[in-house]
Amino acid sequence: MLIAGVVIETLPGRAPEVALRLASRGGVQVKGGDGDRRLAVVVSAASGAELERWAEELVRDDEAVLGVFPTYVGEDERA
């Protein structure tokens, strides 16, 4: 399981509504934001490919999202 810290850039003023939409999706925790155009979220995904897919879909499907920028990636697979 991968756990990533991600910054999501949105259109100006749209971060709060994107946060609401994200909060309803599984595997995503909204940790904070600047109230305007940036959100800090933690995402869990089964693999790097899934994480990338999630990011791609988010940018594609949510017209308020400009970009998804990972700030951290960790792997939760320790014995």
Residues that bind another protein (CB under 8 A): 1-7, 29, 31-34, 38, 40-43, 48, 55, 67-79
CB nearer to another protein: give 61 or 76: 76
The single residue listed with the structure tokens 């089964």 is 46
CB nearer to another protein: give 24 or 71: 71
Report in angstroms how near the CB of residue 30 gets to another protein at its nearest: 10
Closest to 22 in 3D by CA, of 52, 57, 49, 73: 57
Q: Which amino acid is at 48?
A: G
E strand or H helix at 34: none
